[in-house]
Amino acid sequence: MLRALLLENLHPFAKSILAAQGIEVITRTGALDESELIDALQGVQLLGIRSKTHVTEKVLACSPDLIAVGAYCIGTNQINLAAAAKRGVAAFNAPFSNTRSVVEVALADMIALTRRLTVLDKSMHAGVWDKTSEGAHEIRGRTLGIIGYGNIGTQLSVLAENLGMSVVFFDTAEKLALGNAQRMETLDELLAAADIVTLHVDGRDGNAGLFGAKQFAQMRPGAVFLNLSRGFVVDYAALAESIQSGHVSGAAVDVFPVEPKRRGDAFESELRGLPNVILTPHTGGSTEEAQAAIGQFTSNKLRDYVATGTTTLSVNVPNLALEQTTGIHRLAHLHRNTPGVLAAVNAVLASHGVNIEGQMLATRGELGYVVTDVSAEITSDAVEELTQMSQTVRLRLLS
């Protein structure tokens, strides 16, 4: 029986889908550090995590039973994808499932900050009736600057226009503008034009330190800043200074360079206690609807990989969309992408009298993936010969 370890309080769907496949599922509510994870993964084939558990090269090297990792979130920067691929560990994520949740909270943050609801709320709780329109604005007619025009950025763009905003965006990749959104050629142009600046970039290393003192200084006086992307892309000390000086009138931050592992742990930040600042504990995509969708999507990917070898939307191995087996057995062969591998696999099968019913091959960089359906039982000698091929990374025999 296969075993799965699910961490970080995943939605019940994550467990039930795998369990229905006959997989033994172990669940834990919190994240694990490197040594804890290594211990927990002994005898485990499938791992499910969110953003706080890091699957390092050492974890992968010490977990020979592991065949797949599911990131029950958008990002995968917490997984060493290259090291996983080299060991034949497929990785999957949920790139679209919580898009709407993040977009909605971004809109809520923008409205709350431009109306200074945080300041008014604090005064009311302190027993002070401070009725004033000073510093409060509508978002209608204001310009939203979106940095990162991917799934979240584009949906936010459309909804912001429906609220009467003008939208400008900047992305390092060529992106088609939706609606009346206008592409800015440089980040400097966007900062000069926007009343509200929101970050929706991915977790690639090149985005580290993207936004610092220079960028805050280039923002319009009184502009609002949001980061619901990655904590390490922003210099929060510089943001705190900009808020204290009044240059930035408000900020909403959902992600931080260092985040507590477990619910209830202590949280420290230079942004705590500042006026008109909304701090949330990495909950941009944490709605019940989004977590249910993520649980279904990622567990379905893991289930399908185990059952049929399907790797569609894997982020680190070649992608193949596969149905149920057409023969008696299915061989899923991850290998180093060198010439002659397919011929070598077929030669081994032929030498053992195994007839091929169907076969598919895909490559991705240095990795290849060939899936072969055969019409006869495969002997242990044939399996051993395929396993010992110099190009073999991982061989799985699926009934």
> What's the CATH code of the domain at 187?
3.40.50.720
* Within a domain: 10: yes
Length of the chain counted residue by residue: 399
Determine the pLDDT at residue 206: 86
Q: At a CB cut-off of 8 Å and minimum separation 6, what does 307 contact?
A: 21, 324, 398
Q: Which of 24, 161, 259, 357 is catalytic?
A: 259
The count of other CB atoms within 10 Å of the CB of residue 362 is 16
> In this structure, are 119 and 261 located in the same domain?
yes
Burial (CB < 10 A; 0-12, 13-18, 19+), residue 342, is middle
| pLDDT, position 312 | 96
How do beta strands 248-253 and 277-279 pair? Answer: parallel
Tell me, yes or no, if 259 is annotated catalytic.
yes
Output the pTM of the full model. Answer: 0.81
Which residues are within 8 A (CB) of 286 and not within 5 positions of it... i.e. 6 or more apart? 98, 101
Q: Is 165 helix (H, G, I), strand (E, B) or coil?
A: coil
226 and 136 both lie in a single domain: yes
Whether 313 is covered by a domain: the verdict is no
Exposure on the CB side of residue 256, measured as CA atoms within 13 A: 18
E strand or H helix at 83, and its extent?
A: helix 81-86
251 and 392 in a single domain? The answer is no
Query: 3-state DSSP call for residue 298?
Result: helix
Over the Cα atoms of the chain, what is R_g?
Answer: 25
Say if residue 171 is in the same domain as residue 122.
yes
Question: For residue 86, what is the enclosing H or E element?
Answer: helix 81-86
Structure tokens at 326: 């057409």
Domain count within the chain: 3
Task: Answer yes or no: is 126 within a domain.
Answer: yes
The amino acid at residue 393 is V
Q: Which residues constitute the domain of residue 74?
A: 1-98+288-308
Quote the strand ranges of 120-240, DSSP E: 143-147, 166-170, 182-183, 196-199, 223-227
Is position 282 annotated as part of the catalytic site?
yes
Which tokens belong to 334?
A: 């991850």
d(CA 249, CA 277) in angstroms, rounded, equals 9
Q: Would residue 84 count as lying in a domain?
A: yes
Judgement on whether residues 254 and 244 belong to the same structural domain of the protein: yes
Contacts with 206 (C-beta within 8 Å, 6 or more apart), sequence order:
none
- Contact call for residues 4 and 44 (beta carbons, < 8 A): yes
Q: Are residues 107 and 187 in the same domain?
A: yes
**pLDDT by 10-residue block (mean), the chain, 399 residues:** 95 96 94 96 97 95 98 92 97 92 97 96 95 94 97 97 98 94 97 98 88 97 96 97 97 94 90 96 91 95 96 96 82 96 95 92 96 91 95 93
CB 7 within 8 A of CB 28: yes
The predicted pLDDT at position 75 comes to: 83
Query: Which two tokens mark 1?
Result: 């029986």
Residues 89 and 182 in one domain: no
Say if residues 53 and 31 touch (Cβ distance below 8 Å): yes
In CATH, what number is assigned to the domain containing residue 397?
A: 3.30.70.260
Region at 162 (left for phi over 0; alpha for psi -120 to 50; beta for the rest) = alpha
Cβ-Cβ contacts under 8 Å for 84 (sequence gap 6 or more): 55, 60, 69, 90, 91, 316
d(C-alpha 51, C-alpha 155), whole Å: 23
How far is Cα 186 from Cα 188, in angstroms, rounded to an integer? 5
Both 112 and 62 in one domain: the answer is no
If asked whether residues 235 and 115 sit together in one domain, one would say: yes
- Within a domain: residue 380? yes
Q: Which of 230, 330, 333, 335 is catalytic?
A: 230
| Distance, CA of 37 to CA of 42 (rounded, Å) | 9
56 and 44 in a single domain? The answer is: yes
370 inside domain = yes
110 and 93 in one domain? Answer: no
Q: Is residue 361, in this structure, part of any structural domain at all? A: yes
Contact call for residues 183 and 170 (beta carbons, < 8 A): yes
* Residues 211 and 347 reside in one and the same domain: no
**Closest CA relative to residue 219, chosen from 145, 154, 141, 271:** 145
Annotated catalytic residue within 282, 329, 333, 335: 282
